[in-house]
Amino acid sequence: MTKIACLAGVAVAALLAASAAAQTSEEATKAYLDQIQARNDILHAVIAVNPAALTDAKALDAERQAGKVRSAIHGLPILLKDNIEANDGLATTAGSLALKNNVTGRDAPLVKGLRDAGAVLLGKANLSEWANIRSSKSISGWSAVGGTVRNPYVLDRSACGSSSGSGAAVAAGLAWAAIGTETDGSITCPAAINGLVGLKPTVGLV
């Protein structure tokens, strides 16, 4: 089996699309979950993993085998910044202990769109607490829930923020892609610092 976590995101997408039998979403999802287990204690990029991720991936594999492909991201595993709601029994904390039990039981419109397109939700990515709105002096990449996200290239340097975990996780091969949020540099800075491409879509498009 191809070592999924060593491939760029576009290569993983092409691999799944070209050979559903040779490389499955379930295998890709397990590979990323294994990477999270192996590396997250150092990077602190992921706050929580989705216990249903492998089950969801297996169901999407069955759809592909039956000839149903929802979109170009069908079966691809992603992380969500932990200020975005997802109905998987996971809390949406914004990195704050005040919200550590905030299980809303609903999907944000963005997440519903991702699920409808066939994405697999791996879990929640760490972030600068409250997306860094507490204070201009807040520590970039730190949250009370997740600790400090470390730059996977140079561990004692910043991963930037506020979508710190999203950037570090993708750079370290913990996910095919990750969702962040952007007001003033919260996607662009982690993307630049971690050697990635970040996209801020038109308001209302997603």
Residue positions annotated with a catalytic role: 81, 162, 186
- Residue 163's CB is within 10 A of a number of other CB atoms, namely 34
How many C-beta neighbours within 10 Å does residue 199 have?
12
Question: Across-strand partners of 120?
Answer: 77
DSSP 197: -
Distance CA 149, CA 167 (A): 10
Task: Give bridge partners of residue 177 from the DSSP assignment.
Answer: 78
Do residues 25 and 76 touch, judged by C-beta distance below 8 A? yes
Q: Report which secondary-structure segment, H or E, holds 125.
A: strand 120-125
173: alpha, beta or left, given left = phi > 0 and alpha = psi -120 to 50?
left
Distances (CA, A) of 206 to 6, 67, 109, 199: 29, 26, 8, 12
